[in-house]
Amino acid sequence: MASDLNKTLSKVYIGLQLWLLIVIGLGLVFVVILSVSLWLSFRKKTRRGNAMLPLSQAPRVLEEIKEIGVDQASANNGRVNTLNEKFSDRDSEKVLFNVENGNDSSRPGSFNNHVEKDVKGSQPSSHPLTAPSPLSGLSETSRLGWGHWFTLRDLHLATNRFSRDNIIGDGGYGVVYRGNLINGTPVAVKKLLNHTGQADKDFRVEVEAVGHVRHKNLVRLLGYCIEGTQRLLVYEYVNNSNLEQWLRGDMSHKGYLTWEARIKIILGTAKALAYLHEAIEPKVVHRDIKSSNILIDDNFDAKISDFGLAKLLGDGKSYITTRVMGTFGYVAPEYANSGLLNEKSDVYSFGVVLLEAITGRCPIDYGRPKPEVNMVEWLKMMVQLRRSEEVVDPNIETRPSTSALKRALLTALRCVDPDAEKRPKMSQVARMLEAEEYPIPREDRRRRRNQSVNSDVDTQKENSDADRSDIPDPRLGELDRYYEFFVAGMEKNENTKLS
């Protein structure tokens, strides 16, 4: 038996004995199995490595992050397109809406004309950004959608590993660091606090609110970072502090804001809010307009920042109900009392900021006598007492003209009207501040005309020979006459409350 097996294995095939061929075949099978095993093991490790999201790899965009569309009535039978559908990456670097002062901006209605043209889409903006992009020179591989996707390593390098020395602001939302990108661009990096679920919510709010918008008076969101539990937002850096610091004297080593500078800052803020409320869909309600959120650049142009509390208002909604958030002294009364929020809440807050700029005072100051604690109520009292000249910030070296002061006070008082329906739109506010003729509301014109007729009849009957010194001087300008009419209306409302 053994001899037969030996004879069989000793047979020669293709020049080799059979037993040698069997050994060679088994060796080849072993090599193939080993190769397949190693390949499968390598592939499994590669997948695991991708799942771990290394710093050099850009993660996917969260599906929850929605894009703001721009309302164009003439496009696709009223269908709202997203910005990615309308603009390429190159176009996204241009201004989507422009309300800068042109040569004709001083004419009445010029601001509204800009709004109407851009909202309808009939006139594309003719003022592209001429400054180089702050993202130029950065790797294009990490750019997704509208902005730049930064890795955590990028932002560690930019902020010196989030050094305490680089902190420029903090609050309940998180901490803001100053940094420099690898291309030399200065940035402000907002690191959101890792409260359970809150960081994601705050992140989505800010990205939805300002991710796509471009306006010279809005702080530009350059990009963001999501890695693990980290949520970070990267903004352009505005290097001249904020309005609150200038008004409170923190920048006194540089001097104090002139009246002209204050109005320029306030006007820029009004135009930015008009853009958020009236030129994009869904509209954005900031919900935390205050002097510390109005940053100032080297040209003393305003830039609204901090959209962490912003709400989107679309689908034809006139208001939304939400938990009351904001800063004490700036919150509109109807919002504080009922939680009903719309763009008129921002208008009220803007009016408080305008009064801050005029007076230099805090909205609520418990260090003052009781009648002066609430700035808005104190100022209304001073105006009714015909002591408006006394409310001007004493730090203003060259005091404003009487007409300029009345224009600013009228605008502010109309913004802080307790009745939200009577507050003007922000586009109207911008026109009030810059138009040659003060835009008096139609209902006020009609009411004043009726009162004037009745007053003339009563005067002719009862005071034909009396002293007429209390009758308004017909030589007064339209602004002065309306100012007196408005103050008289305030006094009447106050008397009605008391009775």
Residue numbers belonging to the annotated binding site for ATP? 191
Q: Which two tokens stand for residue 379?
A: 């100022």
Say how far apart CA 152 and CA 81 lie, in whole Å: 32
The residues near 50 (Cβ < 8 Å, ≥ 6 apart) are 57
Burial class (CB in 10 A: 0-12, 13-18, 19+), 141: exposed
Q: Do 221 and 268 form a contact (C-beta atoms < 8 A)? A: no
Q: Which of 288, 301, 346, 417 is catalytic?
A: 288
Q: Do 178 and 190 form a contact (C-beta atoms < 8 A)? A: no
User: What's 58's DSSP letter?
Assistant: P
Report the interhelical angle of 343-359 vs 402-415 (nearest 10°): 150
Say how far apart CA 208 and CA 413 lie, in whole Å: 32
Residue with tokens 């040209």: 299
Say how far apart CA 246 and CA 251 lie, in whole Å: 5
Residues composing the chain: 499
Residue with tokens 């009419």: 485
Bin 192: left if φ > 0, else alpha if -120 < ψ < 50, else beta.
beta
Based on its alpha-carbon atoms, the radius of gyration of the chain, rounded to whole angstroms, reads: 33
Amino acid identity at 183: N
Say how far apart CA 42 and CA 37 lie, in whole Å: 9
Say how far apart CA 43 and CA 395 lie, in whole Å: 71
Say how far apart CA 139 and CA 264 lie, in whole Å: 37
Say how far apart CA 214 and CA 219 lie, in whole Å: 9
The residues near 57 (Cβ < 8 Å, ≥ 6 apart) are 50
Question: Which residues contribute to the annotated binding site?
Answer: 191
DSSP reduced 3-state for 334: helix
Q: Which helix (H) or strand (E) holds 360?
A: none
Residue 306 annotated to the active site? no
- The total of other beta-carbon atoms located within 10 Å of residue 294's CB is 28
Q: Which helix (H) or strand (E) holds 100?
A: none
Please give the angle made by the CA atoms of 306, 309 and 314, to the nearest 5 degrees. Answer: 115
For the chain, report the end-to-end CA distance as a whole number of angstroms. Answer: 130
Q: CA nearest 86: which of 66, 67, 65? A: 67
Say how far apart CA 208 and CA 201 lie, in whole Å: 11
Q: Which helix (H) or strand (E) holds 28?
A: helix 18-51
Q: Which residues are catalytic?
A: 288
